[in-house]
Amino acid sequence: MATGVSGYEILSENSSNAARPHDHLQPLPAASDVPVWSYPNRLPEADVISSTESSFSEINRHGHAAPVRQIEANSLVLADNLVGLHNILESGHKATLIYLDPPYNTGMEFQSRQLEHAYSDQFGLAAYVEYMRRRLILMREILSDDGSIYVHIGFQMVAHLKILMDEIFGQQNFRNIITRRKCSSKNFTKHQYANLNDFVLFYTKTDNYKWNQPGEKPGDDWIDKEYNKKDERGKYKLVPIHAPGTRRGATGEPWRGMLPPPGKHWQYVPEKLEAIDRAGEMHWSKNGNPRRKVYLSAEKLVPYTDYWDGFRDAHHQSIAVSGYPTEKNLDMLRMIVSASSDVGDLVIDPFCGSGTTLHAANDQGRQWIGIDQSFHALRTSITRFRHGLKPMGDFVSRGRSNASESVEPDLFEASAAACAPTESRESTTTAADFSFLVDDGLIAEFLPEITEIGSI
């Protein structure tokens, strides 16, 4: 396996050949140049950030509207998130974590089984890129200097958004492109590979960002493979006591008459190595080579990698969900929230959908703001906070005359009443005090619908 080394450690002459400049008939861009998208109606950043007039009202459960100056924490906002993000930016609020699951540009329209429109996912390529660019610029401005942003996206736009995120947040602040296994088996076809994954782009505002290393309990198979030795103290594994790179200090000096292997150094100073040996935590091979014993602890967690296999979409009728078609895994959002924020921090989801991010944030003592322009989304989020979730099986349509006829999941419920659990239904509730805010531009035109949502 190749190992990265510093410049003064390069040993072979031909290792520098690839770095020598070459002549080009047409000069290449400078190393510091950043490629940018070019298309009509690309708005300058200054115009994207410039102040935008907006006004909101809080709707109570009786349908009364009260004007509010700005969006505060623990609010569900019915509005175009461009307007909502402008209001948050101008209020001075800073988010430590932003998670978004935006449209994937699938070219589809989403609607309920009752043919009620939910949202449109039809853009042209340039229109989609600019739609996302304007919102991501505002998110960057809202994000605190120690903040992180996660963009959950499908295969359709992951490459385009990676380039866009590099432009807006800086390639140096890219942390991971995470592959999430979204289902067990789906979308098999004769003409292409099965579509089983979607992706999460993880960026930070700066190099100094909050990070609480997340991990999961290891399974027995992993333990037996990794900790394959055992003594009276328990299971353990053997690890080298040297590391790549030469050093000129104590870790590069002989220990017990031995030098570290060429191009490497001891992981610890000789005094520490002696202490490890005295504690019985050093293993000596028959050839006299030392390795350290690392014992399995009860608190051992395996850090998550950039492949998430354990956060799949709901796949069993007993799993409690909201019924929203693009609802994401609650445990995944809990992990993201705990990894990239602390108690009391502000978490924002500008495409909040069914409110899973907000649920996870609320459960872990974070403040939160959720924005969505879909009436169905706000209905579902409010139902989640006031009445809880219910088993996925309860979203199967009933009332068919033929009991043997197959049933399909009802992706959107037509009314708030259909979402409310009964005494016979298992419910998972997250209690929260929150404000329901609405863009004033919507109230006059959709007052009955907005009043109904507020009364859930």
Domain harbouring 308, CATH code: 3.40.50.150
Do 198 and 266 lie in a common domain?
A: no
CA distance 195 to 364: 33
Same domain, 230 and 120: no
Q: Per-residue pLDDT for 413 more than 70?
A: no
Closest CA to 415 of 442, 376, 454: 376
Question: In angstroms, what CA-CA distances link 63 with 370, 381, 385, 446?
Answer: 20, 17, 18, 12
Distance CA 368, CA 346 (A): 5
Asked if 332 contacts 308 with a C-beta cutoff of 8 angstroms, the reply is yes
Q: What is the 3-state secondary structure (H, E, C) of 182-219?
A: CCCCCCCCCCCCCCCEEEEEEEECCCCCCCCCCEECCC
Residues 50 and 150 in one domain: yes
Question: Over the stretch 311-333, which tens digit does the pLDDT of each residue have?
Answer: 998 754 445 566 677 788 999 99
One-letter amino acid at 216 equals E
Q: How confident is the model at residue 33 (pLDDT cuts 50, 70, 90)?
A: confident
Domain containing residue 53: 45-216+303-454
Residue with tokens 């175009």: 80
pTM of the prediction?
A: 0.80
| In a shared domain, residues 377 and 426 | yes
Q: Please indicate, yes or no, whether residues 182 and 88 belong to a single structural domain of this protein.
A: yes
Tokens of 17: 């050949």
pLDDT in tens, 95-149: 999 999 999 875 555 444 344 444 455 678 999 999 999 999 999 999 999 999 9
pLDDT digits (tens, 9 = 90+) for 354-404: 999 999 999 999 999 999 999 999 999 999 999 887 665 544 444 333 433
Kindly state whether residues 426 and 360 are assigned to the same domain. Answer: yes
Q: 429 pLDDT exceeds 90?
A: no
Flag whether 16 is in a domain. no
Question: 3-state class of 232 per DSSP?
Answer: coil
Pair 286, 318 in one domain: no
Whether residue 165 sits in one domain with residue 90? yes
Q: 295, 314, 348: which is the final residue of a domain?
A: 295
**CB 416 within 8 Å of CB 385:** no
Residue 9 lies in a domain: no
pLDDT of residue 144: 98
Shared domain for 155 and 259, answered yes or no, is no
Q: How many domains does the chain have?
A: 2
Note whether residue 22 is domain-resident.
no
Q: Are residues 259 and 347 in the same domain?
A: no
Residues 195 and 245 occupy one common structural domain: no
Q: Please give the pLDDT value at position 162.
A: 97
Instruction: Among 243, 263, 295, give the residue marking a domain's end.
Output: 295
Write down which residue in 277, 295, 313 finishes a domain: 295
Which among 180, 155, 177 is positioned nearest to 309, based on CA atoms?
A: 180
| Chain mean pLDDT for the chain | 84
103 vs 430, higher pLDDT:
103
Is residue 18 a part of any domain in this protein? Answer: no
Rounded-to-integer distance, Cα 288 and Cα 276, Å: 16
Q: Quick one: which H or E segment has residue 82?
A: helix 81-91
DSSP, collapsed to helix, strand or coil, labels residue 121 as strand
Q: Residue 327: what pLDDT?
A: 85
